[in-house]
Amino acid sequence: MGSVDPIRTVEAVWRIESAKVIATVARMTGDLGLAEESAQDAFVLALESWPAEGVPANPGGWLTTTAKRKAIDQLRRQGVYEEKLRELALRPPPGPEPELLTLIFTACHPEVAVEGRLALTLRLLGGLTTAEIARAFLVPEPTVGQRVYRAKTALRKVPIELPPAEELPARLASVLEVIYLIFNEGYAATSGESWTRTDLCFEALRLARVLAALMPASSEAAGLQALLEIQSSRLAARVGPGGEPVLLADQDRSRWDRLLIRRGLEALARAESTGVLGPYGLQAAIAAVHARALTFADTDWARMADLYRLLAHVAPSPIVELNRAVAVGMAEGPEAGLAILDGLPLTGNPHLAAVRGDLLERAGRAEEARAAFREAAGLTRNAREKALYERRANPGSS
């Protein structure tokens, strides 16, 4: 029996508290870069002193107080402390809203380019290092460093506060989008071989949980949480033993994570009870139709088709139409699905060709189906997808 390594304890406390520490100092000084540096300084001090003196009774409070002091020291050294105090005195005092929420909205500010928002959110809210973010997004480290630098520069002219009521819907949309993009970055390319990709999914799910807990009255925050809980429940089942993708229809549903499904359905119920479902809530409702079906054949396709029709209404896009064609094709027959595909502006999209191939095959139009799968195989840049489409273009030849 050994005791827990004190350094690991400090690191764990840091991961739990760092975003709140940065948020508090950022609100106090109005300077995000200074807040991050001061928080880092406090962490280094904790690493030096806690292992010998023990973890303080209120570790989060200790880190915050120390970081505030470091920030003031820094301002004094730059000779701008008095000026800063005057400037702060003119500003309205911080409201009662949680600092962490303010930090989330600031990191996802529309003044910052989208890649910058992703990097800054992972860094400030997730505590990821620049190197970890670079590995996760498969880009060079200096690229991430530049994105963070530009993001912080763009944020210098932005007050660190919650958006006013009239801006809230648009600003919230940006926050939801950032979390969703982080998740998709991990989900889209998950191949089982790269641990950082699954970590991205987990971090996005965690952020969605944080946001939903901090904004209990927001239907879309609950909707995004529901969507990510349910999507995450399938992470293990959607990759085969050789790393190949396993389609929803073929997944072993006993490997779906029941705890995450239950949490997803609960969050969806919260989203429904706090307002009319928005784009994320509707996508969660669609994911829930799959989650509730014991087998692929049990899927309630009529409900799915209805939900896609609503989604196409609130968030129209050709991809939504493509998915609606699949659902309608299952609910009402392949010809009805094919009718939706006609005229979709998705020329050159391999998934459109594959969906058409599938519908044609089920309509008994074998020759046209094979041609569609050949087209899909020629269009995709994903090797595993290409193999799948080629098999379907040449049935019986494997």
Helix axes 32-53, 59-77, angle to 10 degrees: 130
Q: Among 39, 33, 46, 27, which Cα is nearest to 70's?
A: 39
Q: DSSP 3-state assignment of 245? A: strand
Min. distance of Cβ 330 from another protein in angstroms?
Answer: 28
Of the two residues 6 and 110, which places its CB atom closer to another protein in the complex? 6
Of the two residues 62 and 308, which places its CB atom closer to another protein in the complex? 62
**DSSP assignment of 167-203:** GHHHHHHHHHHHHHHHHHHHHHT--SS-HHHHHHHHH
What does the alpha-carbon distance between residue 299 and residue 297 come to, in Å, rounded to a whole number? Answer: 6
Residue 231: partners with Cβ closer than 8 Å, 6 or more residues away: 183, 187, 201, 287
Of the two residues 202 and 296, which places its CB atom closer to another protein in the complex? 202
What torsion, rounded to 10 degrees, do the Cα atoms 197, 203, 207, 213 define? 130
AA identity, residue 289: V
Of the two residues 70 and 290, which places its CB atom closer to another protein in the complex? 290
Min. distance of Cβ 209 from another protein in angstroms?
Answer: 4
Min. distance of Cβ 120 from another protein in angstroms?
Answer: 18
What does the alpha-carbon distance between residue 152 and residue 230 come to, in Å, rounded to a whole number? Answer: 34
What does the alpha-carbon distance between residue 389 and residue 330 come to, in Å, rounded to a whole number? Answer: 20
Min. distance of Cβ 44 from another protein in angstroms?
Answer: 18
Min. distance of Cβ 140 from another protein in angstroms?
Answer: 25
What does the alpha-carbon distance between residue 172 and residue 180 come to, in Å, rounded to a whole number? Answer: 12
The token pair at 87 is 């400037």
Of the two residues 214 and 371, which places its CB atom closer to another protein in the complex? 214
Min. distance of Cβ 12 from another protein in angstroms?
Answer: 4
Min. distance of Cβ 155 from another protein in angstroms?
Answer: 24
Answer yes or no: are the C-beta atoms of 280 and 176 closer than 8 Å: yes
Min. distance of Cβ 287 from another protein in angstroms?
Answer: 18
Answer yes or no: are the C-beta atoms of 207 and 180 closer than 8 Å: no
**DSSP assignment of 139-166:** S-HHHHHHHHHHHHHHHTTS-SSPPPGG
Min. distance of Cβ 142 from another protein in angstroms?
Answer: 26
Of the two residues 234 and 290, which places its CB atom closer to another protein in the complex? 234
Of the two residues 162 and 369, which places its CB atom closer to another protein in the complex? 162
Of the two residues 9 and 143, which places its CB atom closer to another protein in the complex? 9
Of the two residues 57 and 165, which places its CB atom closer to another protein in the complex? 57
Of the two residues 172 and 211, which places its CB atom closer to another protein in the complex? 211
The beta-carbon contacts of 35-44 under 8 Å, at least 24 apart in sequence, are: 35/67, 35/71, 36/123, 36/124, 37/70, 37/74, 38/67, 38/68, 38/70, 38/71, 38/74, 39/63, 39/67, 41/66, 41/67, 41/70, 42/66, 42/67, 42/70, 43/10, 43/14, 43/18
Min. distance of Cβ 210 from another protein in angstroms?
Answer: 4
Q: Which residues bind another protein (CB under 8 A)?
A: 4-5, 8-9, 11-13, 15-16, 57, 98, 100, 202, 205-210, 213-214, 236, 255, 257, 259, 263
